[in-house]
């Protein structure tokens, strides 16, 4: 384990899970594996009744590090696809309440932190987007199906096909955000919501959440178990590499 994920337990069984891989919580295979492990541990911890998911940085999470991924081998691509699918599945099927507290940008792979949550509170200046089309990359099955399950059809098209981020109000309209607050009120509102969720009967909550997400969870469990994600055999194309280079050079 590293210090990329901090967990602090508080009153009423509320745990704060802080993403701490500065400066922008860029995703890589070890970070995703650590998140997977943390959610498994929290799932089994009987003291934990709800989880607040937060980031101390100006960017909540920027997704994959393009500088790092630009040099990926085919095995690196396979490894991170497997890590993305496994970690996002573990977070999506987590049986306890997850409240995402978002101030800053949640972009590309970083958007899936709020999308796996049960309730998302965002500041007025937060940004949300899926920029994969801009870098010529399609979606692994885990991210694709979670986005399909959580966003409105119009929102799915808007974020995935334009690649441009939207503000909190538009994110609210397309199902990515549940509540918008002023920055100075984010902490208080988040804790109040978490306390409300923590008081709910845990077995009933877990059962209902599993019912709501059942179809997506079952599909992704098969994908992870049988390794049937087509992007495992080569996620990035020559088009991807050129597009990543253009983005890194400020040309896209």
Predicted local distance difference test score (pLDDT) of residue 41: 97
Asked whether residue 188 is assigned to any structural domain, the reply reads no
Neighbours of 225 (CB within 10 A): 8
List all residues 6 or more positions away from 186 whose beta carbon is below 8 Å from its beta carbon: 101, 103, 121, 123
Provide the residue-wise pLDDT of the chain in tens; the chain has 252 residues: 678 999 999 999 999 999 999 999 999 999 999 999 999 999 999 999 999 999 999 999 999 988 888 889 999 999 999 999 999 999 999 999 999 999 999 999 999 999 999 999 999 999 999 999 999 999 999 999 999 999 999 999 999 999 999 999 999 999 999 999 999 999 999 999 999 999 999 999 999 999 999 999 999 999 999 999 999 999 998 899 888 888 888 766
Q: In what order do the strands lie in the sheet with 59-61?
A: 59-61, 105-107, 127-129, 166-167
Asked whether residue 198 is assigned to any structural domain, the reply reads no
pTM summary value? 0.95
Query: How far, in Å, are 42, 53, 142, 160 from residue 217 at the CA level?
Result: 18, 20, 9, 21
Containing domain of residue 37, as a range?
5-183
Asked whether residue 120 is assigned to any structural domain, the reply reads yes
Asked whether residue 89 is assigned to any structural domain, the reply reads yes
Asked whether residue 251 is assigned to any structural domain, the reply reads no
Domains contained in the chain, number: 1
Asked whether residue 195 is assigned to any structural domain, the reply reads no
- Whether cis (ω within 30° of 0) applies to the bond prior to 23 is yes
What SS3 class is residue 173? helix
Predicted local distance difference test score (pLDDT) of residue 129: 98
* Torsional sign, CA 2, 3, 9, 13: negative
Asked whether residue 159 is assigned to any structural domain, the reply reads yes
Q: Are 97 and 51 in contact (CB under 8 A)?
A: yes
Predicted local distance difference test score (pLDDT) of residue 75: 95
- Virtual CA dihedral for 85, 88, 90, 94, nearest 10 degrees? -160
CATH number of the domain residue 71 falls in: 3.90.226.10
Asked whether residue 175 is assigned to any structural domain, the reply reads yes
């Amino acid at each position: 384990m590293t210090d990329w994920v901090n967990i602090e337990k508080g009153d009423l069984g509320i745990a704060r899970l802080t993403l701490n891989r500065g400066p922008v919580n860029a995703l890589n295979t070890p970070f995703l594996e650590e998140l997977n492990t943390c959610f498994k541990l929290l799932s089994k911890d009987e003291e934990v009744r709800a989880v607040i998911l937060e980031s101390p940085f100006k960017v909540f999470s920027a997704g994959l590090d393009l500088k790092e991924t630009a040099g990926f081998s085919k095995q690196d691509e396979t490894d991170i696809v497997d890590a993305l699918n496994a970690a996002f599945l573990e977070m999506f099927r987590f049986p306890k309440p997850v409240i995402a507290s978002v101030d800053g940008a949640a972009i590309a792979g970083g958007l899936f932190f709020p999308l796996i949550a049960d309730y998302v509170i965002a500041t007025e200046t937060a940004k949300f987007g899926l920029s994969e089309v801009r870098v010529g990359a399609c979606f692994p099955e885990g991210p694709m199906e979670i986005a399909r399950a959580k966003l409105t059809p119009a929102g799915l098209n808007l974020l995935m096909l334009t690649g441009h981020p939207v503000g909190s109000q538009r994110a609210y309209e397309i199902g990515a955000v549940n509540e918008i607050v002023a920055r100075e009120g984010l902490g208080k509102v988040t804790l109040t919501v978490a306390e409300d969720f923590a008081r709910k009967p845990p077995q009933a909550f877990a059962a209902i959440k599993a019912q709501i997400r059942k179809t997506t969870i079952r599909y992704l469990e098969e994908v992870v178990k049988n390794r049937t994600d087509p992007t495992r055999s080569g996620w990035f194309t020559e088009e991807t590499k050129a597009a990543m280079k253009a983005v890194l050079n400020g040309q896209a």
